[in-house]
Amino acid sequence: MPLEVKSPDSPRSFRTWRQSFSRKILAGSSHRRLPFAVATIAVVAVIGAADFLTGFELSMLAFYFVPVCLAVATVGWRFGVLAALISVGTWLAGDIAAGAHYASPLVPIWNAVIALSAYLVVIWLLANVMALHREMESRVKQRTAALTDEIAERERLEREILEISERERRNIGHDLHDGLGQHLTGTALVAQALGAQLAARDAPEAGEMKAIVALVEEGIDQTRSLAKGLLLAEIESDGLATALNEFALATRAQYRVDCSFQSEGRIALDKAGVATQLYRIAQEATRNAIRHGHSHRIAISLAGVGPDLLLQVNDDGSGLPPVGKRRQGLGLRIMAHRAAMVGASFSVEARPEGGTLMQCRLLLPSP
């Protein structure tokens, strides 16, 4: 299975809009209470008129639940109780006006109490459900804020880790160039002088000293190559292909592996630092292939695929470990974070024929 890291950015979604709308409605903002209160009374009046026109023999009690629930949801439970009282009064008044007759005055009072009790139970249930909903939204908001802060802190720490890594790279590069490189250069000069003295005396060790000088000079070249890779400055937006080609040549010479680079067309990036991050990703993937995958052939490619820029590093090494034993190491996390910093997707997967394929895909700027 491929290891993949993406960095999606989501705009305001429908869910966010719905939650915002619900909070405004359920909270019963002062500027919205009056229109909803008027609408509730209007609905009660409409239902009461229909109740009167249909006569007292057909009960319309169930329809009064609509304005009662509307009152609770938009204004509050207190106005819901008031709407329930108005609804019961309207229902009784409509039935009496339609010609209803009762054997005792207690009958309409009893009917009103029963109807009002049913409305009050609904009001209580609805008010509690709304309170739980508001409490849950508050908790979700708090957890979301805490999670956002945690993500921001993690990203800050990851950026600091990358900055520390770059700083240590530069420090090591300076030490190699100014320390070890100068020391080896001095050693080569001393060895050359000693070889010249041995050659002047026709000593048989002169040939061996010459070979030693050649080895030291080879060490100097390797040290300079290492220092150059560590002291890499910011790559220009159109210099990524050139830098990757030089890196492939240096890797071939340093590690004695078949490392090649292929590029299709002239590719320019519009953001500062993007080319440097892509270069570091290719550099890390190549060195991982050599050190951990024991690869002998590595192919680095850079090409435009539709609107995207695709950076690939192919190797013929040992590949990824089995899924059960696979762990995403620090190198993979750093590469994934570098890709996320420039808005690119990153994946590493095992090739069917053996080896590993690293892909980094970046959306190119429109011309």
Q: Where do the structural domains in the chain lie, given as residue ranges?
A: 14-154, 159-228, 234-363
Place of tokens 């491929």: 2
pLDDT score of 322 more than 80? no
- In this prediction, residue 233 has a pLDDT band, given cuts at 50, 70 and 90, of low
Q: Residues near 207 by Cβ (< 8 Å), separated by ≥ 6? A: none
Q: What is the mean pLDDT of residues 62-70?
A: 92
At 182 the pLDDT is 82
pLDDT score of 221 more than 90? no
Greatest mean pLDDT among 21-30, 60-69, 187-196 lies in: 60-69
Q: Cα 359–336–343 angle (5° rounding)?
A: 80
Instruction: Tell how far CA 65 is from the center of its chain.
Output: 46
* Backbone torsions φ then ψ of 321, nearest 5 degrees: -70, 170
| Residue 177 near residue 223 (C-beta atoms within 8 A) | yes
pLDDT score of 91 more than 50? yes
Q: What is the mean pLDDT of residues 302-310?
A: 87
Q: Cα 213–216–219 angle (5° rounding)?
A: 155
pLDDT score of 328 more than 70? no
- In this prediction, residue 232 has a pLDDT band, given cuts at 50, 70 and 90, of low
Burial annotation 313-327 (CB, 10 A radius, 16+ → b, else e): bbbbbebbeeeeeee
Q: What is the mean pLDDT of residues 237-247?
A: 84
| Residue 297 near residue 319 (C-beta atoms within 8 A) | no
- In this prediction, residue 363 has a pLDDT band, given cuts at 50, 70 and 90, of confident
Q: What is the mean pLDDT of residues 248-274?
A: 83
- In this prediction, residue 30 has a pLDDT band, given cuts at 50, 70 and 90, of low
pLDDT score of 270 more than 90? no
- In this prediction, residue 83 has a pLDDT band, given cuts at 50, 70 and 90, of very high
106 exposed, middle or buried (CB, 10 Å; 0-12, 13-18, 19+)?
exposed
Helix (H) or strand (E) holding 359: strand 356-363
At 133 the pLDDT is 92
State the pairing for strand pair 308-315/258-263: unpaired
Quote the mean pLDDT of the chain.
81
- The type of residue at 105 is P
Dihedral Cα 115, 116, 122, 125, nearest 10 deg: -140
pTM of the model: 0.52
Q: Which whole-number Å values give the CA distances from 243 to 131, 235, 238, in the listed order?
A: 61, 8, 10
At 14 the pLDDT is 43
pLDDT score of 27 more than 50? no
More confident residue, 253 or 290: 290
pLDDT score of 176 more than 80? no
Q: What is the mean pLDDT of residues 93-114?
A: 88
| Residue 72 near residue 119 (C-beta atoms within 8 A) | no
117-167, pLDDT tens digit by residue? 999 999 999 999 999 999 999 999 999 999 999 988 887 887 787 777 777
CA distance 181 to 187: 10
More confident residue, 348 or 319: 348
Task: Work out the percent of the chain whose per-residue pLDDT is above 70.
Answer: 83
Burial annotation 107-146 (CB, 10 A radius, 16+ → b, else e): ebeebeeebbebbbebbeebbeebeeeeeeeeeeeeeeee
Number of neighbouring beta carbons within 10 Å of residue 205: 13
Q: Which fold has domain 234-363?
A: Heat Shock Protein 90 (3.30.565)
Task: Work out the percent of the chain whose per-residue pLDDT is above 90.
Answer: 29
At 65 the pLDDT is 92
pLDDT score of 312 more than 90? yes
At 20 the pLDDT is 53
pLDDT score of 8 more than 50? no
More confident residue, 114 or 267: 114
Q: What is the mean pLDDT of residues 162-174?
A: 74
